[in-house]
């Protein structure tokens, strides 16, 4: 049985960055759920599925066996036995992933695969509903958040570093609207699990957040 760390929280809270660092510190597998949805999209495209046709998606999706491995420190996404890292980052795959990820049958199939990964390996998984829906029995649950202002400034800094223009007020508005959508969606809304530890990173650096989560892990797992 694997040890599971679930990190949930709103958009822009730094979940993926933090989850990867925590996984590296503990030599756990970081489960990139987004990459798994992209692998599913590639599978659907390879089978000529029309992304607008939900029945076609549902008829085909259960044939996709997707897992994640690490080799020499690199994440390898495996689709039916094949390394598909080089194929899942195209715009075409991204567009299909956007359409297919909302399909309940796709979500149910990937949930099953994600739970299988977590049963067999020590994993860190991040998202909106990991601790509440995907890994409700995770040994460690973290709800990672930050104020809308902080998240907007972080996003603006990313744009600035890329040399792209931005409107800070619009970024903040978009983040607040995204929070509203995520918290009020019908399927697996964003919320803090009852047994999750709240970590507010508004005034914390990345290393401080990682240390805080590792402290929770030590308290809940290593002291047992």
pLDDT(223) > 70: no
| CB distance 117 to 66 below 8 Å | no
CB atoms within 10 A of CB 202: 12
Which letter, b or e, does each residue of 120-144 get, where b requires 16 or more Cβ atoms within 10 Å of its Cβ?
ebbbbbbbbbbbbbbbeebbbbbbb
Q: H/E element holding 119?
A: helix 104-120
Residue tagged 């420190």 (tokens): 73
Using alpha carbons, list the distances in angstroms from residue 60 to 23, 34, 46, 145, 203: 33, 19, 11, 37, 46
Over 90: is that where the pLDDT of 11 sits? no
Q: Which two tokens stand for residue 82?
A: 């094949």
> How far is Cα of residue 46 from the mean position of the Cα atoms in its chain?
24
- The conformation of residue 30, written as its DSSP 8-state character, comes to E
pLDDT digits 0-9 by tens, 111-164: 999 999 899 999 999 988 899 999 999 999 999 999 999 999 998 998 899 898
pTM of the model: 0.82
| Confidence (pLDDT) at 162 | 87
pLDDT > 80? residue 173? yes
Please identify which residue in the block is written with the tokens 């829906």: 133
Lowest mean pLDDT among 76-80, 97-101, 147-151, 168-172: 97-101
32 or 216, which is more confident: 216
The pLDDT of residue 224 is above 70: no
């Amino acid at each position: 049985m694997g040890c599971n760390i679930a990190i949930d929280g709103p958009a822009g809270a730094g979940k993926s960055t933090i989850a990867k660092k925590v996984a590296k510190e503990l030599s756990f597998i970081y489960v990139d759920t987004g990459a798994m949805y992209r692998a599913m999209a590639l599978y659907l495209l390879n089978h000529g599925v029309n992304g607008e046709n939900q029945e076609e998606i549902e008829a085909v999706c259960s044939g996709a066996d997707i897992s994640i491995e690490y080799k020499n420190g690199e994440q390898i996404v495996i689709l039916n036995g094949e390394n598909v890292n080089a194929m899942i980052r195209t715009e075409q795959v991204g567009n299909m992933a956007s359409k297919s990820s909302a399909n309940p049958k796709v979500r149910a199939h990937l949930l099953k695969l994600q739970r299988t990964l977590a049963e067999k390996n020590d994993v860190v998984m991040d998202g909106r509903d990991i601790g509440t829906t995907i890994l409700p029995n995770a040994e460690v649950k973290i709800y990672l958040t930050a104020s809308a202002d902080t998240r907007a400034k972080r996003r603006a800094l990313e744009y600035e570093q890329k040399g792209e223009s931005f409107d800070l007020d619009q970024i903040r508005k978009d983040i607040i609207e995204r929070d509203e959508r995520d918290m009020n969606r019908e399927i697996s809304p964003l919320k803090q699990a009852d047994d999750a530890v709240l970590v507010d990173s508004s005034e914390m650096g990345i290393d401080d957040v990682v240390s805080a989560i590792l402290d929770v892990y030590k308290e809940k797992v290593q002291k047992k």
